[in-house]
Amino acid sequence: MEHKPLPPTPPTEPNNPSSSMTTHNPPTNGGPTPESPQKHIWVITGPAGCGKTSVAEHLHQTFSLPYLEGDTYHTPDNVSKMAAGHPLTDTDRWDWLITLRTACLSTLKTSPGVILTCSALKRKYRDVLRIASYGHPDVKVHFVFLKASEVVLMERVRGRKDHYMKDYMVKSQVESLESPGSDETDVLLVDAGGEAEVVKGLAEGLVKKVMDRSA
């Protein structure tokens, strides 16, 4: 196998979860070699009610890729906190995000791609997941950001049954949301305000375009 230069040293995980990482896009490490084809992590993001699960399941079925439901990786303490109506803090989320990143990389050992649902509301949360590309030049991280108005999100969450996320927590998520900046070039923006089938079709089209380019 052709020897590539060693990738730059990744940033250290911050001890203080409230601090931001300085690198928002993974460095270019020369790309995949013929022996190591490109692999993709597709993170389906957005506030509660935007349709993350619906879109992720559709992409899972369409592209036959493994699907990880991020909420199932929360600790019991996190779930209890949310069920009681208390928003998670950065500290609550930090180990969860690192666990999700590790799970995605583990899944890529036997698959060309993986789909993950994770709200990733803040830029520093997305940065934690972006680190998956460090030291792995064959791995690309993409964020499919589902954007919808607070009114639409509230209506959808109110229609759910037996889910720990309450409608009044949507406001907290919308307030915490840091919409991806123009320099976050790994983000695919999807208008999630329409009917579910339309939203799924929009997301599928964007993902397919990226896959076709990297084929």
Q: Is the residue at 20 inside a domain?
A: no
pLDDT at residue 147 greater than cutoff 90: yes
What confidence score (pLDDT) does residue 215 get? Answer: 74
Mean pLDDT computed over every residue of the chain? 84
The most confident of the ranges 16-25, 75-84, 198-207 is 198-207
191: number of Cβ within 10 Å: 11
Here the tokens at position 79 are 């779930």
pLDDT at residue 67 greater than cutoff 90: yes
pLDDT at residue 27 greater than cutoff 60: no
Q: Is the residue at 4 inside a domain?
A: no
pLDDT tens digits for range 150-176? 899 988 888 666 555 556 678 888 888
Place of tokens 């300085």: 22
Q: Is the residue at 94 inside a domain?
A: yes
How many whole angstroms separate alpha carbon 70 and alpha carbon 119? 9
For residue 40, give Cα distances in angstroms to 44, 65, 66, 77, 99: 13, 10, 11, 31, 17
Q: Is the residue at 150 inside a domain?
A: yes
Specify the range with the lowest mean pLDDT, choosing from 78-82, 99-103, 204-208. Answer: 78-82
Who has greater pLDDT, 67 or 7? 67
Place 10 in a pLDDT band, splitting at 50, 70 and 90: very low
pLDDT at residue 148 greater than cutoff 80: yes
pLDDT at residue 69 greater than cutoff 60: yes
Determine the average pLDDT of the residues in 59-64: 98
What confidence score (pLDDT) does residue 48 get? Answer: 87
What confidence score (pLDDT) does residue 12 get? Answer: 45
Strands in 113-117's sheet, in edge-to-edge order, are 67-69, 113-117, 39-45, 139-147, 187-191
Place of tokens 């070039």: 185
> Domain tally for the chain?
1
Q: Is the residue at 46 inside a domain?
A: yes
CATH number at residue 182: 3.40.50.300
User: 170: domain range?
Assistant: 39-214
Determine the average pLDDT of the residues in 73-102: 89
For residue 161, give Cα distances in angstroms to 92, 157, 158, 166, 194: 25, 9, 8, 10, 21
Determine the average pLDDT of the residues in 174-193: 94
Alpha helix stretches (DSSP H) within 29-89: 52-63, 76-83
How many whole angstroms separate alpha carbon 3 and alpha carbon 48? 44
What confidence score (pLDDT) does residue 33 get? Answer: 52
Q: Is the residue at 13 inside a domain?
A: no
Q: Is the residue at 146 inside a domain?
A: yes
Q: State the Cα angle at 48 between 26 and 171, rounded to 5°.
A: 105
Contacts of 47 (CB under 8 A, 6+ apart): 119, 121, 148, 153, 170, 173, 174, 177
For residue 13, give Cα distances in angstroms to 19, 22, 118, 126, 132: 10, 11, 19, 13, 12
pTM of the model: 0.80
Place 28 in a pLDDT band, splitting at 50, 70 and 90: very low
